[in-house]
């Protein structure tokens, strides 16, 4: 025959069961908390490894630093201001820069004709005598000029057609020998004719389209420095 329990005994039994269940829940929560803490520690260690492990001093030496290059947006270049063309026979208003007190003839392009006979050596013929300083080797000389072939009188070059004087260091080998030799001692404001044999010009077989044979130049000396 089953033992009859009193209500008091039932309450005590129920309390024991509840206490046992509470202890199990507490134990399980503590275990989960411990596992979570362990995972957090592992996560921190992994992060530290990735941050510091690639370089001993905190610098990532395995790859270059990333940089951003920003290219400016290209813009269309400004349209150049149209300049009126100056025909060869009509130089610009400020051309040529004739020195003060010089012969007004220097403002006009000279007419250069062909020579005659055989030209064996440099010949310097004064056309206008200037009153300025004499050009010396080593100085920078500024000139206007017209160049023609000696035998045919065909023009091949002229500063007048460009409305731009030509400057160069005299006697330094920067121009043909006939100029380096023939313009030394010529005074500012002068106009001279230089007749050059081929060996003092571009030679008999020049390169780059230069004229061959003897040449004739008419040169105006505008300044020396």
Q: What percent of the chain has pLDDT over 70?
A: 59
Q: What percent of the chain has pLDDT over 90?
A: 57
Q: Which domain holds residue 27?
A: 7-59
Whether 1 is in a domain gets the answer no
161 by Cβ neighbours in 10 Å (0-12 / 13-18 / 19+) ranks as: middle
pLDDT tens column, 110-138? 999 999 999 999 999 999 999 999 999 99
Same domain flag for 119 and 199: yes
Residue 94: pLDDT band with limits 50, 70, 90: confident
State how far the Cα of 216 lies from the Cα of 221, in Å rounded to an integer. 16
Same domain flag for 52 and 120: no
Q: What was the pLDDT predicted at 120?
A: 94
Whether the pLDDT of residue 102 is over 80: the answer is yes
Whether the pLDDT of residue 167 is over 70: the answer is yes
Same domain flag for 46 and 118: no
Q: How many domains does the chain have?
A: 2
CA torsion through residues 196, 200, 202, 205, sign: positive
State how far the Cα of 201 lies from the Cα of 214, in Å rounded to an integer. 7
Whether 91 is in a domain gets the answer no
CATH at 126:
3.10.50.40
State how far the Cα of 166 lies from the Cα of 42, in Å rounded to an integer. 83
The token pair at 85 is 């063309």
Q: What was the pLDDT predicted at 42?
A: 39
Per DSSP, the residues of 84-123 read ----TTS--TT-S-PPTT--GGGGSPPP-----S---S-E
Long-range contacts of residues 168-174, Cβ cutoff 8 Å, at least 24 apart: 168/140, 168/141, 169/138, 169/139, 169/140, 169/141, 170/135, 170/136, 170/137, 170/138, 170/139, 170/140, 170/141, 170/224, 171/136, 171/137, 171/138, 172/137, 172/138
- Which residues are catalytically annotated? 145, 156-157, 176, 202, 217
Same domain flag for 212 and 119: yes
Same domain flag for 42 and 114: no
Same domain flag for 139 and 214: yes
Whether 82 is in a domain gets the answer no
Whether the pLDDT of residue 161 is over 90: the answer is yes
């Amino acid at each position: 025959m089953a033992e009859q329990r009193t209500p008091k005994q039932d309450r005590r039994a129920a309390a024991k069961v509840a206490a046992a269940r509470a202890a199990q829940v507490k134990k399980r929560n503590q275990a989960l908390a411990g596992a979570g803490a362990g995972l957090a520690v592992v996560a921190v260690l992994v992060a530290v490894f990735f941050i510091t492990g690639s370089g001993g001093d905190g610098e990532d030496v395995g790859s270059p630093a990333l940089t951003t290059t920003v290219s400016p947006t290209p813009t269309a270049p400004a349209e150049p201001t149209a300049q009126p063309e100056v025909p060869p026979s009509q130089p610009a208003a400020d051309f040529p820069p004739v020195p003060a007190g010089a012969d007004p003839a220097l403002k006009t392009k000279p007419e250069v004709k062909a020579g005659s006979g055989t030209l064996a050596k440099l010949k310097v013929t004064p056309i206008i005598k200037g009153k300025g300083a004499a050009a010396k080797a080593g100085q920078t000389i500024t000139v206007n000029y017209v160049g023609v072939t000696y035998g045919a009188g065909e023009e091949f070059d002229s500063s007048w057609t460009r409305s731009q004087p030509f400057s160069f260091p005299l006697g330094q080998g920067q121009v043909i020998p006939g100029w380096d030799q023939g313009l030394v001692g010529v005074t500012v404001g002068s106009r001279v004719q230089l007749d050059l044999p081929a060996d003092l010009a571009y030679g008999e077989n020049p390169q780059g389209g230069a004229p061959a044979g003897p040449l004739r130049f008419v040169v105006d000396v505008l300044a020396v420095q």
